[in-house]
Structure 1
Amino acid sequence: MADTAETVPGEAPVGPESGSLAIRRWISIPLGLAATWGWIKGAPYAFAYVPVEGEFAAAAVFYLLLFFPLALLALGLGWLCRVRVLRAGDAPVGWSAAGFAIGVAGLLLAFALSWLNGRVVTGPAGGAGIAALLGGLGVIVVQAGAEEVLVRGWLQRVLGKLVTPFAGILLAAFLFAVLHLVSGPVHWQSFVNIVLAGVLFGSLADRSGGLAAPVGAHVAWNATEDLGLGLVPNPGSGPFGSVADFELAGAVLWGGGGEGLNTSIGTTLVLVALIVPLFALPRPGGVRDPQAAPA
């Protein structure tokens, strides 16, 4: 059977590989993850030396300090591994719009399921100014963009080349969730939902051929949750405020705990419902399963 791996101009083909480049890629994975883990742990210490006042400014500066270096790390790792980290993908405008719609709809459905099975309380915040909301949106774009460049742009693509694209999605999603443990332990349901969110974003990247779709979905989900409904933190409102301020009460497994929708079974159901149809779509080039492509 002929080699059926995906080929992208300027980089080596996707699929199981061997040789010096494969060794370099395998080595880059623990090194890249260790560097990411170390910077996430170390960024608060670096931030302590930044003169900034006010909750809004402090939050904005901290997130920029945290995520810009991670995006640069991803670019360096991509150069080392010979992968195009910043691929937008096929039809990026259409896919980014589709990703945005998926993110908004998914979050609203997860919220609705938690509301139907718990209790929604209106908090004292909400009605944030346009400047604060735009600043918060800019921070979310940087955060989600840096995470997608690092995890889907570099890690998932490298894993997909070393094993298979499907395994790359799953492994990158799991490692994406593991990186969230740097800030401390999370509820087991949160970990499951973060893995599923990684599979959703990874599937969007795989089916669209780039980052436009997963970045759109990631930004939309976070912005709707944080700035639209004020669900992060739960209870309370973030440093950038929100249009509305809803608090989830009731059972922890429906979002009523401190981790909010991350612990919601509704979020799990919505993520699975969004993921399954994506695997029915062909990958770029019209191939659903690269291992089953014709010779």
Structure 2
Amino acid sequence: MHSKKIPIINSSKNKKKLPNFIWAIILSLIFMYGGSLMGSLATVPLFLALRNIPLFFNNKDLLSLLITLFSFAFISLLVFFRVKVIEKRSFSSIGFNKNNWLKKYSLGFLIGLAMMSIIVLILFPFGYITVEKNPIQPVGISAIASVLVILFGWIIQGATEEIVTRGWLLNVLSTKYNIGVGLLISSTLFGLMHLTNPNVNYIAVINIILVGLFYGLYVIKTNDLWAVCGMHSAWNFAQGNIFGFKVSGLDVSVGSLIDLNLVGSDFVTGGIFGPEAGITATFILLASIGILLFIDKKRYFSNKPLKS
């Protein structure tokens, strides 16, 4: 007998207690920036404890990035507090159902890796990617320890952004208004939150909004948050520490399995912001959304959420 699953959409028994879209956006920003501040203070003891370990002592940038990514956990704690204490809901109601969670997460992680790998496979044959001959970071076998360590940080960071934008914001706005409003606002805010990243441009913001639409649609169609947490973490991890690109404009040169450079037209590749700012990523994201909608029409997703 299957256990009853709590739908993400319409998961609150009293819509009147949910915030309107303005207050929901403000709360999301409080979660993100307030939680980051809390995390930056709370992780100081961890930084002090790890800084003399050889791996980190010899690669101080690795420790700094790891601590930054770990600090995102405090953002999630704020959201969990809001959901459990104020809204009085279970974690299942934001998409964290325990059933087959590892399988769902692993599938999402593989999808995220595949999407970024396809971008590389498109760009490389046309000469838009070169291999760095004089890397300034550990690469290949010498980077394995650093890559595995930083993966844990990306797992926390990717999950946190999904918990805020898809698990909570999409959730409450879709319940209070409708799915279209929830999807549009959560995706747009997700894109706009990257406006302060280095070397951002309009294609980057559009692509990040498209990422939000893809993840949001996946959550709506599957009633699950585990998979998009995996996708998000794998997407960032692949960019920065498998292929050696910048991640949303941020330099994460702490170790990479391969160190690649984007060359040629920034419009095509994304340039110094990374692949997210290129039209190639736009094509992959639109294709991914199309494939998701196509397989949904084929009734691939059996766990449909309730319509609002």
Scaled to the shorter chain, the TM-score interval is 0.7 to 0.9
Match of 2:116 in 1: 107
% of aligned pairs identical? 21
Match of 2:10 in 1: 13
In 1, Cα distance between equivalents of 2:100 and 2:171: 19
Q: CA deviation at 1:220?
A: 1.9
Distance 1:37 1:93, change over 3 A: closer
Are 2:134 and 1:134 equivalent residues in the alignment?
Answer: no
Distance 1:107 1:156, change over 3 A: same
Distance 1:230 1:47, change over 3 A: farther
Gap regions ≥5 residues in structure 2? 52-56
Gap regions ≥5 residues in structure 1? 1-6
Q: CA deviation at 1:48?
A: 11
Q: CA deviation at 1:164?
A: 1.8
Distance 1:114 1:33, change over 3 A: same
Distance 1:276 1:256, change over 3 A: closer
1:71 to 76, 80, 88: 76
Match of 2:226 in 1: 212
Match of 2:158 in 1: 144
2:189 is matched by which residue type in structure 1?
A: L
Distance 1:116 1:187, change over 3 A: farther
Q: CA deviation at 1:132?
A: 0.8
Q: Deviations over 1:67-98 (max 9, x none)?
A: 01111121123233345335247643443333
Paired residues of 2:197 and 2:248 also in contact (CA < 8 A)? no
Q: CA deviation at 1:58?
A: 1.8
Distance 1:183 1:69, change over 3 A: farther
SS in 1 for 2:75: helix
Aligned CA-pair RMSD: 3.4
Q: CA deviation at 1:145?
A: 1.2
Q: CA deviation at 1:37?
A: 5.1
Match of 1:34 in 2: 29
Q: Deviations over 1:244-281 (max 9, x none)?
A: 10000100111252102011111011011111232342
31-40 or 161-170, which deviates more: 31-40
Q: CA deviation at 1:117?
A: 4.6
265-274 or 70-79, which deviates more: 70-79
Q: CA deviation at 1:122?
A: 1.0
- State the aligned residue count: 281
In 2, Cα distance between equivalents of 1:233 and 1:253: 17
In 2, Cα distance between equivalents of 1:252 and 1:30: 32
Are 2:255 and 1:241 equivalent residues in the alignment?
Answer: yes
Q: Which residues in structure 2 correspond to 1:250-269 (within 5 Å)?
A: 250-269=264-283
Paired residues of 1:37 and 1:182 also in contact (CA < 8 A)? no
Q: Which residues in structure 2 correspond to 1:274-293 (within 5 Å)?
A: 274-280=288-294, 281=296, 285-286=303-304, 290=307
In 1, Cα distance between equivalents of 2:250 and 2:11: 45
Are 2:114 and 1:119 equivalent residues in the alignment?
Answer: no
2:278 is matched by which residue type in structure 1?
A: S
2:87 is matched by which residue type in structure 1?
A: C
Paired residues of 1:21 and 1:81 also in contact (CA < 8 A)? yes
Paired residues of 2:10 and 2:174 also in contact (CA < 8 A)? no
SS in 2 for 1:247: strand
Q: CA deviation at 1:143?
A: 0.6
Distance 1:129 1:76, change over 3 A: same
